[in-house]
């Protein structure tokens, strides 16, 4: 069976995200989503090297997979602006994390259902907490999948910078459908510092000095995310997986777009 293209999936994702605020009865947290695809080719063999040694291959999710689909849900600017001040994340940052995880999981499943209606099986993993708690590395890293599918490029903050910036969340799935290569980023780098420009903004914004041009102190960051959940009264009604901070994505030059594209 045929008839499903990247345009079909992009339109479906856009409509799905557009309808989410009325489902929740709120204004919602999201701008228009992005979606990129890549064929399951040799590039994905690098995952154990570039992500984590036990990272799964797309064929581990679905032996017959022919394509990887990665989508990005960019946050509205007001939400990101509201998380700028102070060292601790805002209540809305925590709430949006919870609601975005749920949206990512349902959107991934809905994309899978759409593909199945066209005769193609899919394989999915959850939006988050699919990682090794000791090594703090994901066995299925949406970020690295997005990097390989050319949805974005890594910044100094170790977030993926897409054409709609880094402030948002990623989801991914694999499918039997042959969707081809549909990249969205067209610059070699999307981080100003990595492109040789002056920018240390994310490094300066980190409350714990977890970031530097040389690397990312994963453990330091993780302890801070857990501390936020344990400390903040206004997170007390949120799930015990609400591990957030987001200061390195708040009003950075790369928060809402790819700053290298306009150099």
Interface with ligand SF4 by CB under 6 A: which residues?
Answer: 155-157, 191-193, 199, 201-202, 205-206, 208, 210-211, 221, 224, 245-248, 252-254, 259
Instruction: Look at the block and give the residue holding tokens 């040694």.
Output: 53
Name 138's bridge partners: 131
**Cβ closer to ligand SF4: 138 or 173?**
138
Sequence length of the chain is 263
Coil/strand/helix, residue 224: helix
For β-strands 215-216 and 137-138, DSSP reports them as unpaired
Nearer to ligand SF4, 127 or 177 (CB): 127
What is the closest distance, in whole angstroms, from the C-beta atom of residue 44 to ligand SF4 in the complex? 25
Tell me whether residue 89 or residue 108 sits nearer to ligand SF4 (CB atom). Answer: 89
Residue 161 — φ and ψ, nearest 5°?
-100, 115
- Provide, rounded to whole angstroms, the least separation between the CB of residue 166 and ligand SF4: 7
Cα torsion 163, 211, 250, 198 to 10°: value is: -60
| Closest by Cα among 82, 99, 107 to 239 | 99
Shortest distance in whole angstroms from residue 23 CB to ligand SF4: 28
Residue 256 carries which DSSP code? S
- Strand 131-132 with 153-154, pairing: unpaired
Q: Which residues contact 121 (CB under 8 A, 6 or more apart)?
A: 62, 64, 115, 175, 176
Closer by beta carbon to ligand SF4, 95 or else 193: 193
CB of 163 to ligand SF4, least distance (A): 14
Q: Smallest gap, in angstroms, from Cβ of residue 40 to ligand SF4? A: 29
Least distance in angstroms from the C-beta of 259 to ligand SF4: 6
Give the distance from CA 71 to its chain's centroid.
7
Q: How far is CA 221 from CA 173, 206, 217, in A?
A: 27, 9, 6
Q: What is the sign, positive or negative, of the torsion defined by CA atoms of 209, 213, 217, 223?
A: positive
CB of 188 to ligand SF4, least distance (A): 14
CB nearer to ligand SF4: give 25 or 86. 86
Q: How far is CA 208 from CA 227, 239, 242, in A?
A: 12, 24, 19
Q: Decide whether 22 or 200 has the Cβ nearer to ligand SF4.
A: 200
When the beta carbons of 119 and 215 are compared against ligand SF4, the nearer one is 215
Q: Residue with the closest Cβ to ligand SF4?
A: 155
């Amino acid at each position: 069976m045929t008839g499903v293209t990247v345009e079909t999936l992009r339109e479906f994702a856009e409509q799905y995200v557009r309808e989410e605020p009325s489902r929740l009865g709120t204004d919602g947290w999201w701008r228009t989503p992005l979606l990129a695809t890549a064929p399951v080719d040799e590039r994905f063999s690098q995952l154990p090297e570039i992500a984590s040694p036990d990272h799964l291959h797309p064929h581990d999710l679905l032996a017959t997979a022919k394509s990887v689909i990665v989508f990005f849900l960019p946050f509205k600017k007001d939400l990101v602006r509201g998380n700028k001040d102070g060292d601790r994340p805002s209540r809305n940052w925590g709430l949006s994390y919870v609601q975005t995880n749920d949206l990512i999981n349902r959107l991934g499943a809905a994309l899978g259902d759409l593909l199945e209606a066209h005769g193609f099986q899919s394989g999915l993993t959850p939006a988050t907490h699919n990682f090794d708690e000791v090594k703090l590395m994901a066995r299925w890293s949406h970020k690295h999948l997005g990097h390989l599918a050319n949805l974005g490029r890594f910044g100094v903050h170790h977030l993926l910078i897409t054409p709609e910036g880094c402030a948002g969340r990623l989801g991914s799935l694999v499918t039997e459908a042959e969707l081809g290569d549909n990249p969205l980023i067209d610059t070699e780098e999307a981080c100003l510092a990595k492109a040789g420009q002056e920018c240390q903004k994310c490094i300066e914004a980190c409350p714990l000095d977890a970031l530097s041009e040389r690397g990312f102190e994963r453990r330091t960051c993780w302890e801070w995310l857990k501390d936020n959940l344990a400390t903040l009264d206004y997170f007390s009604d949120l799930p015990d997986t609400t591990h957030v901070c987001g200061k390195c994505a708040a009003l950075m030059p790369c928060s809402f777009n790819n700053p290298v594209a306009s150099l």
